[in-house]
Structure formats: C-alpha cells, structure tokens
C-alpha cells in the first residue's frame, strides 16, 4: 500500500511538472523572443545544413524530412527566392554572417542564371546546371523570386537585385496589363507575349501582400505605392463575391473578364480560406501603411467572417475549403496546411492591433500552440507541410517547389516583431549588412507597417550612430562596404 501510494504521488508530481512546463511554454508564446528563438534554433539550422547546393549553385528543390536531396534536381527560381527570404529573416534576427552568405549564394545564382538577359523577367524553371527548361514568365514564379530578393535588398541595400525587381514589376505593368478588361494576366511567354490571359490572386492582392507592401516599406517608391493601390482596388472591385464578400482567384484564377471559376467539394461550391487570409492581410497592412479606411473596414470585416467559418476555435486550427454560402461550413477537415496556420497567426496580431479586442490574442495563443506543438519537427528541424487536426503528420517532405523556409521563418520574424511592437509595446532589434554605401545614402529599416513605430537607436560597426530619422525609419549611411548595422525599433503608443 505504501509502495502504491508512493508511485501515485510520483506520477502526480510528473503530471503536474509536465502541465506546468506546458503552461510555461504556452505562456512564452506571447513573447516575441519565443519566436525569434524558435526560428534560430528549431527552423533555420535545418535549412542551412541541407538546402544549399555547393556543387551546382542555388538550392536543392526537394528535401526529405531528414534533409536528403531528392530528384528531380531542377532549379526553381521562385523556390530559390523563398529560400533567400528565409535566410534573410535569420540574418535580421541574429546578425549571423553564415545566413547572409547563404542568402547571397541564392541571390547571385538568380542574377547569373534565372534572369532572361534578352527579354527580361525570371525564367519559370531551370535544369540542374542552370539552363532554362521552361522560359515562360508565370506570375507566381515572378512574384516569389522577387519576394526573396526584396528582403535581401532590405538587409543589404544591394542595388543589383533592386534593379531586377523593378524591371520585373515594369514588365508586369507593361506586357501583362489587360488594356481592355483591366487587371493583369497570369503568364507571359519568353518574348513577353501573353501565354495565359486568366487573372489570379497572385497577380493582384497576393502580389500586393507578398511583395509590394514590403517593397514600399523598403524603398518608399511612389511607383510601388501607386501599383499597390491599383491592384488592391482591382481586387476589391473585380475579385470579390458581391453577395458574400469572399475574394476569388485562387486556387483557380478568374477568366479574362474576371469571371471566377467555380470549385466544388462534396457537391458544395467552396472558396479557399487561404486566399481569404491573404486578402485580409493585404487589406489590413494596406490600411496600416496608407491610412485609407476602405482597406481597414474591408479587412476587419473579412477577418471576422473568416474567424466564424474557416477557424476551429476548439483546436486552434485553420481549414482551407469553406462552403461559399452561409453558414460557411468547412467542406474538408482532413488536413491543416502550414501556410494557412502561419497567415492565421499574423491576421490575429493585425486584428488585435487595429481593434484592441483581446479575443484575437486568445485565438493567437491557440493557433500558436498548435503550430509549435505539431508543425515544428522537434527531431530534424524545420516545419511540416501539412498535418491532421489531431496533429498527425501527413507530408514529411521539407522542401518542394512551393515549400521552403519561407513561411516558417516569416512566422519567426513577424511574430517576433508584431508581438514586441504591437502587443507587448516593447522594442525589437534587427540586423543589417549594407553591401556598398555612398556617403549620405538613405536606407529604410522598418518592417512594421504602422508609422507609429519609430527608430530608437542605431549602431554601425559597433559604434552608436546618430544620423537617422526616427519617424521616417531611415538611416543616413556613411560611405563604406559591408556596414554592420543594428537597428532598434520601438512603438510610440
């Protein structure tokens, strides 16, 4: 009896210990440092160790769970761009030169092999040796190649990549523009003639959310700002359902006259919650950046509608296929995708920032706990692509044409920034390494959309630097190469 009592007490102590440990871990989830640590210790080391192709350049296209390269060994410029994004996030959070070298490895490869030197634009696909396999210029491939390079420019100020990004945008505005029906086409041939006249999320509100808002923060270029506004208004006016307010264009693009392509699951017409999360973030971030109320009103309304349909509040998870008509029931509850879970987290923090409603933080905590408990591979590192609602892994492949370190390191970086700046009201620190600066060059240093976030302090090469504009979030640089700059941002309210 005494032995049994001792065992029972021992088991109770263990259970309480585990419970307290779990509660502490979930409490830490509301601290930006938790996410910085997760990115730098549980995510990016896997990619740094396994994805860099030191023989043929660029990054491996496919990796197993353990990090073994798998065929085919083609080079996908968009995946390389997404991987550059992941490494630049790691550098922003750490200042570790190894991550910047990997990002530069990818950027140099794209500039050498992926840009069409005759017609311009990024090739869709290269072979293992860097020769073009598919010479079309499809908007998702153009977009995500630029997304990673834009972050590389943010960290380094490397004008080589900015030149290509702006050249790519010019091609879309010129050759992909539908002058009859409005909007922008899905794909161009190598010679920039139109090969696919449909219109998608990626060429409108997805283009804005993933690239243009960031590029606007990085450059303050009016052309970028005007294009972002144009694409968002096109999306509002032509890509939203008039009855229910859903955004269409993904995964099936609209036709040339903006008509959506219907999709059905189990006989019910469905919409993509992933597309709605993209649209929500586009709208909320555009409102924070521009102050235009139409974006804020539409973004908050869409976010609330999503929370009542695609989000399972008991489990803290997001489902993708939702019935288009009320009561907006999930049509497929078999899996949870990593990128939806990530975007759902960002949406909560923006909605809280704009409304001050605490229930968004409670939802964030649940979503974040599910992400950390079930998507992060505790054995090998990195994040899984999809799991069941109970957390069982469905796809163990770590890298594929549309799966890189992009979303998982974006999760680490943005949760760190938003929790610090928008929720906990405390400073956040970012690292830069400016490749080649001229005396008096300006470099913009904020990833926070809200202009109420300002610069608190700057150091360059280990010394305090006073030449910065706090409200403009810009630093006036000295002449020099490889300037190591550390910037601390802080909220003013």
Which domain CATH number covers 119?
1.50.10.10
| Residues 446 and 400 grouped into a single domain | no
Rounded to 10 degrees, what is the CA torsion of 429, 430, 433, 438? Answer: -80
| Residues 143 and 198 grouped into a single domain | yes
In a domain, 232, yes or no: yes
| Residues 431 and 398 grouped into a single domain | no
206 Cβ partners below 8 Å, 6+ apart? 143, 200, 250, 275, 278, 282
Single out the residue in 424, 447, 472 at which a domain terminates: 424
Q: What is the 3-state secondary structure (H, E, C) of 101-123?
A: HHHHHHHHHHHHHHECCCCCCEC
* CA-to-CA dists, residue 266 to 270, 273, 350, angstroms: 10, 17, 34
Provide the domain limits for residue 454: 425-493
In a domain, 22, yes or no: no
| Residues 417 and 331 grouped into a single domain | yes
| Residues 469 and 366 grouped into a single domain | no
Digitized pLDDT (tens) for each residue of the chain, 493 residues in all? 444 444 444 444 444 444 444 434 566 999 999 999 999 999 999 999 999 999 999 999 999 999 999 999 999 999 999 999 999 999 999 999 999 999 999 999 999 999 999 999 999 999 999 999 999 999 999 999 999 999 999 999 999 999 999 999 999 999 999 999 999 999 999 999 999 999 999 999 999 999 999 999 999 999 999 999 999 999 999 999 999 999 999 999 999 999 999 999 999 999 999 999 999 999 999 999 999 999 999 999 999 999 999 999 999 999 999 999 999 999 999 999 999 999 999 999 999 999 999 999 999 999 999 999 999 999 999 999 999 999 999 999 999 999 999 999 999 999 999 999 999 999 999 999 999 999 999 999 999 999 999 999 999 999 999 999 999 999 999 999 999 999 999 999 8
37 Cβ partners below 8 Å, 6+ apart? none
In a domain, 19, yes or no: no
Single out the residue in 424, 443, 471 at which a domain terminates: 424
In a domain, 350, yes or no: yes
| Residues 398 and 487 grouped into a single domain | no
Taking the C-alpha atoms of residue 96 and residue 41, their distance in angstroms, rounded to an integer, is: 13
| Residues 321 and 206 grouped into a single domain | yes
Total domain count, the chain: 2
In a domain, 21, yes or no: no
| Residues 338 and 448 grouped into a single domain | no
| Residues 439 and 414 grouped into a single domain | no
In a domain, 8, yes or no: no
| Residues 407 and 461 grouped into a single domain | no
In a domain, 149, yes or no: yes
Single out the residue in 368, 400, 424 at which a domain terminates: 424
| Residues 401 and 479 grouped into a single domain | no
Angle at 66 between CA 62 and CA 69, to 5 degrees: 30
| Residues 419 and 440 grouped into a single domain | no
């Amino acid at each position: 009896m005494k032995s049994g009592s001792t065992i029972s007490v021992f088991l109770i102590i263990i259970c309480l210990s585990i419970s307290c440990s779990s509660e502490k871990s979930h409490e830490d989830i509301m601290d930006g440092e938790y996410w910085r640590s997760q990115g730098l210790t549980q995510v990016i080391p896997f990619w740094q160790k396994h994805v860099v192709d030191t023989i043929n350049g660029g990054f491996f296209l496919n990796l197993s769970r353990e990090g073994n390269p798998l065929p085919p060994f083609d080079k996908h410029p968009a995946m390389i761009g997404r991987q550059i994004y992941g490494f630049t996030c790691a550098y922003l959070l750490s200042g570790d030169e190894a991550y910047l070298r990997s990002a530069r490895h990818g950027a140099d490869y794209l500039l050498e092999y992926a840009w069409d030197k005759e017609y311009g634009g990024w090739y869709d696909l290269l072979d293992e040796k860097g020769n073009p396999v598919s010479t079309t210029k499809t908007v998702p491939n153009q977009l995500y190649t630029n997304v990673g390079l834009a972050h590389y420019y943010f960290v380094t100020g490397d004008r080589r990549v900015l030149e290509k990004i702006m050249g790519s945008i010019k091609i879309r505005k010129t050759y992909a523009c539908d002058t009859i029906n409005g909007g922008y086409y899905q794909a161009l041939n190598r010679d920039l003639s139109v090969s696919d006249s449909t219109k998608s999320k990626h060429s409108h509100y997805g283009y804005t959310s993933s690239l243009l808002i960031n590029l606007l923060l990085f450059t303050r270029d009016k052309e970028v700002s005007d294009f972002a506004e144009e694409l968002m208004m096109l999306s509002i006016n032509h890509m939203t359902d008039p009855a229910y307010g859903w955004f269409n264009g993904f995964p099936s693009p609209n036709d040339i006259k903006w008509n959506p392509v219907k999709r059905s699951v189990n006989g019910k017409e469905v919409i993509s919650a992933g597309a709605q999360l993209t649209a929500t973030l586009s709208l909320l971030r555009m409102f924070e950046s521009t102050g235009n109320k139409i974006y804020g009103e539409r973004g908050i309304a869409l976010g609330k509608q999503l929370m009542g349909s695609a989000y399972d509040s008991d489990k803290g998870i997001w489902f993708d296929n939702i019935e288009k008509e009320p009561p907006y029931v999930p049509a497929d509850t078999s899996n949870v995708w990593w990128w939806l879970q990530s975007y759902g987290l960002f949406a909560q923090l923006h909605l809280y920032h704009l409304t001050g409603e605490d229930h968004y933080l409670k939802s964030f905590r649940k979503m974040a706990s599910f992400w950390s408990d079930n998507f992060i591979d505790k054995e090998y590192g990195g994040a899984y692509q999809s799991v069941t609602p109970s957390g069982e892994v469905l796809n163990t492949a770590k890298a594929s044409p549309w799966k890189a370190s992009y979303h998982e390191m974006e999760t680490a970086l943005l949760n760190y920034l938003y929790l610090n700046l928008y929720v906990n009201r405390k400073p956040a620190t970012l690292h830069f390494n400016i490749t080649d600066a001229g005396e008096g060059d300006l470099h913009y240093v904020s990833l926070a959309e809200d202009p109420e976030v300002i610069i608190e302090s700057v150091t360059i090469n280990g010394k305090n630097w006073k030449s910065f504009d706090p409200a403009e979030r810009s630093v006036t640089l000295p002449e020099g190469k490889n300037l190591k700059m550390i910037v601390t941002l802080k909220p003013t309210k």
